[in-house]
């Protein structure tokens, strides 16, 4: 009885380990990219919710009092233990004796990994003078 034992040579083993290592690196890079994209999406959604709330609060103040001069125009907000820098600008576009149209622009920026991310939301508010 003859038994034919075949075994892997050192070169074949090294090639198999190299191929498997390359596959693991590709999968781990894909996972890290997906995690980074998910983190960015979560931050972006949190910022958009805060921006909408801030702009609508300013819109309400403008609609009721015709001024938002008492508001800060820049600052830092912390959402879920992350710092975001914000800057508010507002301009009177047109004003008459009956109404005034304002433009409110809110820009928020933050550090996402190695890049700086900024987003801008603009809202128009119309104040109508009552007699």
What is the chain's mean pLDDT, rounded? 86
Task: Give the model's pLDDT for residue 70.
Answer: 67
Task: Give the model's pLDDT for residue 69.
Answer: 66
Task: Give the model's pLDDT for residue 48.
Answer: 94
Specify the number of domains making up the chain: 1
Does some domain include residue 1? no
% of the chain surpassing 70 pLDDT: 92
Does some domain include residue 101? yes
Does some domain include residue 31? yes
Highest mean pLDDT among 10-14, 47-51, 64-68, 77-81: 47-51
Task: Give the model's pLDDT for residue 3.
Answer: 63
Q: Vertex 106, ends 100 and 111: CA angle to 5°? A: 175
| Residues 92, 100 contacting (CB under 8 angstroms) | yes
Does some domain include residue 66? yes
Does some domain include residue 4? no
The per-residue b/e assignment along 103-125, b for 16 or more CB within 10 angstroms, e otherwise, is ebebbbebeeeeeeeeeeeebeb
* In the predicted structure, residue 56 carries a pLDDT above the cut 80: yes
Does some domain include residue 3? no
SS3 78: strand
Does some domain include residue 62? yes
Q: Which of 92, 96, 103, 85 is nearest to 128 (CA)?
A: 96
Does some domain include residue 5? no
**Domain of 65, in residue numbers:** 10-128
């Amino acid at each position: 009885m003859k038994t034919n034992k075949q075994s892997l040579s050192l070169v074949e083993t090294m090639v198999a380990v190299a191929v498997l290592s390359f596959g693991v690196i590709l999968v781990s890079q894909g996972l890290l990219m997906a995690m980074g994209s998910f983190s960015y999406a979560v931050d972006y959604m949190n910022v958009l919710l805060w921006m909408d709330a801030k702009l609508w609060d300013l819109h309400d103040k403008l609609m009721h009092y015709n001024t938002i001069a008492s508001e800060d125009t820049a600052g830092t907000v912390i959402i879920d233990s992350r710092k975001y820098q914000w800057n508010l600008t507002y301009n009177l576009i047109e004003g008459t004796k009956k109404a005034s149209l304002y433009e409110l622009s809110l820009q928020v920026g933050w550090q996402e990994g190695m890049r700086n991310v900024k987003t801008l939301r603009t809202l128009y508010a119309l104040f109508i003078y009552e007699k």
